[in-house]
């Protein structure tokens, strides 16, 4: 796909025609993009025991055909082309109107998102270290075999046959 995350785009069709925004996410499999502040939807969230009910505004996806990149030189909508960069020999994106090279940019997650992501993984590591595995607790597996000689483990090694108690 020619568009990438972080590109400044203008909407060329639909209810938000003429508005500008930045691509937050690219959905390549369905040829759609999510643009900040464009194609807003209101979602009514039902209250639960933990949280209060609320109305949330979300950006929904928009088709790639309804979006054009903003030319950095002129500030007008432009198509995207490709050419081989003479210095590096790599394929680069180019704005068709002015011939300006378009770099690919990534949107950095906000500080709150980073903190949430890191605290979530630390929490998972801490809980994983505290809890023994289920099979170890029950007394099965290699770990249980090493330490189960003195501990109470599974029932004694009695051999069960399938035909016992079935009348045959």
Reported as a single tens digit per residue, the pLDDT across 3-53 is 889 889 999 998 999 999 999 999 989 999 999 999 999 999 999 999 999
**Taking the complete model, does pTM exceed 0.85, yes or no?**
no
Tell me the fold of 8-78.
SH3 type barrels. (2.30.30)
Residue bearing tokens 């704005």: 95
Whether 34 contacts 23, CB under 8 Å: yes
Whether 40 contacts 62, CB under 8 Å: no
Ordered by start, the domain boundaries in the chain are 8-78, 112-147
116-163 per-position pLDDT tens digit: 566 555 555 555 555 666 666 677 666 555 554 545 555 555 565 565
**Rounded to whole angstroms, how far apart are CA atoms 6 and 70?**
12
């Amino acid at each position: 796909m020619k568009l990438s995350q972080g590109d400044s785009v203008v909407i060329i069709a639909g209810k938000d025609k003429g508005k500008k925004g930045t691509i937050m996410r690219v959905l390549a499999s369905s040829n759609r993009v999510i643009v900040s502040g464009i194609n807003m939807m209101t979602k009514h969230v039902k209250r639960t025991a933990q949280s209060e009910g609320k109305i949330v505004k979300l950006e929904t996806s928009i088709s790639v055909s309804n979006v054009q990149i903003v030319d950095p030189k002129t500030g007008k909508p432009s198509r995207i082309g490709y050419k081989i960069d003479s210095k590096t020999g790599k394929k680069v994106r180019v704005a068709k109107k002015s011939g300006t090279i378009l770099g690919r940019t990534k949107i950095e997650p906000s500080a709150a998102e980073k903190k949430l992501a890191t605290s979530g993984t630390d929490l998972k590591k801490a809980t994983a270290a505290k809890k023994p595995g289920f099979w170890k607790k029950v007394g099965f597996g290699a770990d249980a075999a090493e330490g189960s000689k003195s501990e109470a483990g599974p029932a004694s090694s009695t051999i069960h046959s399938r035909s016992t108690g079935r009348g045959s």
